[in-house]
């Protein structure tokens, strides 16, 4: 009789792929919940469960369109949504944007994977920020590429250092990733930094990959510059979608907008089109939500004003964390997160994943450890600023208690 291995094992392709934000810590939280504990979840940037409901016009449009959304759509996405996205970018200074330059996906996540899979051969390098949104690193590895991290500078608002980026370019470098506004740091890059990144791509023939899913979430009037507007002659793929600004992460509605000298990328775009075809199309009801979202009242604007919920919560979380001895934290100019640092003299942490698991067990508060974002030390963690002011006050007081016990211990 034929012998089978006892166990089905995972592909070696996954050996170094990680996505720790939803990894062992989240499983431990689920275990504690099953035991009956209430966990304060400060780990995922998912607005809806925190009471951030989508504008009603989006929901009504989706409900109305459901009967017409039963079949597959064109793989690139429905035309009305692509027109709406092109017009949206035109109003943001990308005057040449047209529906043919827009491709729809099941969230930015799916598009990140497809864009990298279509691009990378074995050992091709992608410049990715550290800390990063870890899907960029994981998807690069899964596509056979090598992530090369450039270190963002905590002493300088978490902005990248252009000289360091340039020094890390090799003849295998294919693309430069910019995440702006940034997850996990909340940094929003000034125009000069983006111009510098575009210039690096221009001089080295790199593809600029701009993850701008938080583009409408900035505070105190900080200007958000879309990378494509300073990179008109650079091949640029801009990523965005409905998950954050329009608070419907569950609809899995995302898009890319491809700009610059696309004639240089004919072969690449054919490959990307092949991957799009192979997965048929993005979730069609979610595609119908796009035109309603982009054309309707932009309610995110009310939330980021000083009187708005997102602004108030960021203020509260920042103020309370900064009051804890040995905690320093840059105030986020955008996005939904803070990335505090714990002074190693007071809190020497060998393993930050164990540290956050201990916080979870003792205080029932779930945050993510800094290394989950490919950060270089073990002294950081990320929390989301989505919970109400009251919940943030309670959670941060729990973190402060845990830290004082950690010092005493």
- Span interacting with ligand PLP, options 63-71, 82-90, 104-112, 382-390, rule CB under 6 A: 104-112
SS (HEC) of 22-87: HCHHHHHHHHHHHCCCCCEECCCCCCHHHCCCCCHHHHHHHHHHHHHHCCCCCCCCCHHHHHHHHH
Q: Which of 254, 260, 285, 286 binds ligand PLP (CB under 6 A)?
A: 254
Q: Which of 73, 183, 238, 379 binds ligand PLP (CB under 6 A)?
A: 183
Shortest Å, Cβ 189 to ligand PLP: 13
- Span interacting with ligand PLP, options 88-96, 156-164, 241-249, 286-294, rule CB under 6 A: 241-249
Rule CB under 6 A: is residue 179 a binding residue for ligand PLP?
yes
Q: What is the separation of C-alpha 226 from the centre of its chain, rounded to a whole number of angstroms?
A: 15
- Would strands 337-338 and 381-384 be described as parallel, antiparallel, or unpaired? antiparallel
**C-alpha span between 223 and 79 (Å, rounded):** 30
Binding mask 17-36 for ligand PLP (x = CB under 6 A): --------------------
Rule CB under 6 A: is residue 61 a binding residue for ligand PLP?
no
Specify the DSSP class assigned to residue 342: E
Specify the DSSP class assigned to residue 286: H
Rule CB under 6 A: is residue 241 a binding residue for ligand PLP?
yes
- Span interacting with ligand PLP, options 95-103, 105-113, 313-321, 357-365, rule CB under 6 A: 105-113
- Span interacting with ligand PLP, options 9-17, 34-42, 72-80, 101-109, rule CB under 6 A: 101-109
Shortest Å, Cβ 139 to ligand PLP: 10
Site for ligand PLP in 298-357 (CB under 6 A): none
Residues 6+ apart with CB under 8 A from 339: 131, 158, 184, 185, 186, 329, 330, 370, 373, 380, 381, 382
DSSP SS3 for 134: coil
- Would strands 253-259 and 236-241 be described as parallel, antiparallel, or unpaired? antiparallel
What size, in residues, is the chain? 409
Shortest Å, Cβ 266 to ligand PLP: 27
Which residues on adjacent β-strands are paired with residue 368? 382
Q: Which of 58, 108, 193, 258 binds ligand PLP (CB under 6 A)?
A: 108
Shortest Å, Cβ 188 to ligand PLP: 13
Rule CB under 6 A: is residue 249 a binding residue for ligand PLP?
yes
Rule CB under 6 A: is residue 366 a binding residue for ligand PLP?
no
Which residues on adjacent β-strands are paired with residue 54? none
How many other C-beta atoms lie within 10 A of the C-beta of residue 391? Answer: 16
Site for ligand PLP in 129-148 (CB under 6 A): 133
Shortest Å, Cβ 187 to ligand PLP: 12
**C-alpha span between 120 and 77 (Å, rounded):** 24
- Span interacting with ligand PLP, options 81-89, 107-115, 190-198, 296-304, rule CB under 6 A: 107-115
Rule CB under 6 A: is residue 45 a binding residue for ligand PLP?
yes
Rule CB under 6 A: is residue 289 a binding residue for ligand PLP?
no
Nearest Cα to 284, choosing from 47, 80, 53? 80
Q: Contact at 8 Å (CB) between 290 and 207?
A: no
Q: Which of 65, 101, 125, 211 binds ligand PLP (CB under 6 A)?
A: 211
Footprint of ligand PLP (CB under 6 A): 45, 107-109, 133, 179, 183, 211, 213, 241, 243, 249, 254
């Amino acid at each position: 009789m034929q012998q089978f291995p006892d166990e089905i094992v995972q592909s070696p392709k996954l050996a170094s792929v990680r996505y720790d934000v939803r990894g062992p810590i989240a499983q431990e939280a689920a275990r504690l919940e099953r035991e009956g504990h209430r966990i304060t979840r400060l780990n995922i940037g998912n607005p809806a469960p925190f009471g951030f409901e989508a504008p009603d016009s989006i929901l009504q449009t989706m409900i109305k369109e459901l009967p017409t959304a039963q079949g597959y759509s064109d793989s690139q996405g429905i035309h009305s949504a692509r027109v709406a996205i092109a017009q949206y970018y035109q109003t943001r200074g990308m005057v040449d944007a047209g529906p043919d330059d827009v491709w729809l996906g099941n969230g930015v996540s799916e598009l990140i994977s497809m864009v990298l899979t279509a691009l990378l051969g074995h050992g091709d390098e992608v410049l990715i920020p550290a800390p990063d949104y870890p899907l960029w690193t994981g998807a690069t590895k899964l596509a056979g590429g090598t992530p090369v991290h450039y270190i963002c500078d905590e002493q300088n608002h978490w902005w990248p250092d252009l000289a360091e980026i340039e020094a890390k370019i090799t003849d295998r470098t294919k693309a430069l990733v910019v995440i702006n506004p940034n997850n996990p740091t909340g940094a929003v890059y000034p125009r000069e930094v983006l111009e510098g990144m575009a210039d690096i791509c221009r001089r080295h023939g790199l593809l600029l990959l701009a993850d701008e899913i938080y583009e409408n979430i900035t505070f105190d009037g900080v200007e958000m510059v879309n990378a494509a507007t300073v990179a008109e002659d650079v091949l640029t793929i801009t990523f965005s979608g409905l998950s954050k600004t329009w608070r419907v992460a569950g609809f899995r509605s995302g898009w890319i907008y491809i700009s610059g000298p696309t004639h240089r990328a004919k072969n690449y775009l054919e490959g990307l089109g092949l991957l799009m075809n192979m997965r048929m199309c993005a979730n069609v009801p979610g595609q119908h939500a796009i035109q309603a979202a982009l054309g309707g009242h932009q309610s995110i604007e009310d939330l980021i004003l000083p009187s708005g919920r997102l602004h108030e919560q960021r203020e509260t979380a920042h103020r309370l964390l900064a009051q804890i001895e040995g905690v320093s934290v840059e105030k986020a100019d955008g996005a939904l997160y803070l990335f505090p640092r714990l002074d190693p003299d007071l809190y020497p942490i060998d393993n930050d994943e164990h540290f956050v698991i201990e916080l979870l067990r003792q205080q029932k508060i779930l945050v993510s450890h800094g290394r989950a974002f490919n950060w270089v030390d073990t002294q950081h963690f990320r929390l989301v600023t989505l919970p109400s002011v009251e919940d943030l006050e309670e959670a941060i007081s729990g973190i402060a208690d845990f830290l004082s016990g950690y010092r005493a211990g």
